[in-house]
């Protein structure tokens, strides 16, 4: 099966995952009031390229409409796929999703965090924590013998009532391609196949949670996904290898103030 990785391929993803995490951490550390999205994008791209990697989102998509940035940067009611090359200044109190991927030694990895800009409201801080916790619950369920629906259920059960879990965007296999089989949903959708989790499979687990409903739409830029009701959204993501001893996070989670540090 194409979506199973060899030991050597997983080692390449492990190394690429550390490089990617370092790039994301550099952007996280620079994410302060007064900084632009474009500045964060440039910082992350610099770290990837200096480490021998290639950004995987830059140029992704169709030839006529390639993604124009290294990082998907999505602020407040923006859920994912925001254009990281925008000259938008980040303000105190914003929450900003930073989603990044890279190629390294022929394999790709994918990860994201949502970070506070300066001090944020208690509601926004809780949203970040809830989303991170749901991702980690999903990771714990990523074991051989389970199916993707065990991950979906773990994520869903960790998100408290009153939040929305985005349904139209899901996690995915990753490694040989930026997106590959299987789909890894964040809720128990009956229309998703119960793809088994197999030794050597690598998947991106990436819950997207809102403070409103699960409904999202595409903004006028034809990339950015936003909440329909204008509620806040958060997104966390890791690339995980499914191994006989249990799940291994290949993209070390960065230190995010108030969430992971």
Which DSSP string do the residues of the chain spell out, in sequence order? -TTB--HHHHHHHHHHHHHHHHHHHHHHHH--TT-BHHHHHHHHHHHHHHTT-EESSTT-EETTEE---SEEEEETTEEE--BTT--PBP-TT-EEEEEEEEEETTEEEEEEEEEE-SS--HHHHHHHHHHHHHHHHHHHT--BTBBHHHHHHHHHHHSPTT-EE--SS-EEE-SSSSSEEEEE-SS--TTS--PBP-TTBEEEE--EEESS-S-EEE-TTSS-EEETT---EEE-BEEEEEETTEEEESSPPP--TTTT-
Closer residue to Mg ion in complex, CB, 35/174: 174
Query: At its nearest, how many Å lie between Mg ion and the CB of residue 202?
Result: 12
Closer residue to Mg ion in complex, CB, 108/130: 108
Q: Which residues contribute to the site for Mg ion (CB under 5 A)? A: 110, 204
Closer residue to Mg ion in complex, CB, 164/175: 175
Closer residue to Mg ion in complex, CB, 35/240: 240
Give which of 90, 59, 62, 64 is closest to 76, Cα–Cα.
Answer: 90
Closer residue to Mg ion in complex, CB, 80/197: 80
Query: At its nearest, how many Å lie between Mg ion and the CB of residue 85?
Result: 19
Query: At its nearest, how many Å lie between Mg ion and the CB of residue 134?
Result: 15
Answer whether 209's CB lies under 8 Å from 162's CB.
no
Query: At its nearest, how many Å lie between Mg ion and the CB of residue 172?
Result: 6
Query: At its nearest, how many Å lie between Mg ion and the CB of residue 5?
Result: 16
Query: At its nearest, how many Å lie between Mg ion and the CB of residue 169?
Result: 9
Closer residue to Mg ion in complex, CB, 23/204: 204
């Amino acid at each position: 099966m194409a979506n199973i990785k060899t030991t050597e391929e997983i080692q390449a993803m492990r190394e690429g995952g550390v490089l990617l995490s370092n790039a994301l951490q550099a952007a996280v550390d620079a994410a302060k009031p007064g900084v632009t999205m474009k500045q964060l994008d440039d910082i992350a791209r610099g770290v990837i390229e200096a480490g021998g990697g290639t950004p995987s989102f830059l140029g992704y998509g169709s030839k006529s409409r390639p993604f124009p940035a290294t990082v998907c940067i999505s602020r407040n009611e923006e859920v994912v796929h925001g254009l990281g090359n925008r000259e938008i200044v980040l303000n105190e109190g914003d929450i900003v999703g930073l989603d990044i991927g890279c190629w390294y030694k022929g394999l790709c990895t994918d990860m994201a965090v949502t970070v506070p800009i300066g001090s944020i409201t208690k509601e926004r801080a809780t949203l970040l924590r809830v989303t991170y916790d749901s991702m980690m619950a999903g990771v714990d369920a990523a074991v051989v013998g389970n199916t993707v629906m065990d991950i979906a259920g773990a994520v869903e059960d960790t998100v408290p009532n009153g939040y929305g879990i985005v349904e139209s965007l899901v996690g995915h296999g990753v490694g040989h391609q930026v997106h590959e089989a299987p789909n890894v949903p964040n809720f128990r959708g009956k229309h998703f196949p119960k793809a088994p989790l197999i030794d050597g499979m690598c998947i991106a687990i990436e819950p997207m949670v809102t403070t409103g409903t699960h409904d999202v739409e595409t903004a006028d830029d034809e990339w950015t996904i936003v909440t329909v009701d204008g509620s806040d959204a958060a997104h966390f993501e890791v690339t995980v290898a499914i191994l006989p001893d249990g799940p291994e996070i290949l993209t070390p989670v960065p230190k995010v103030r108030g969430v992971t540090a």
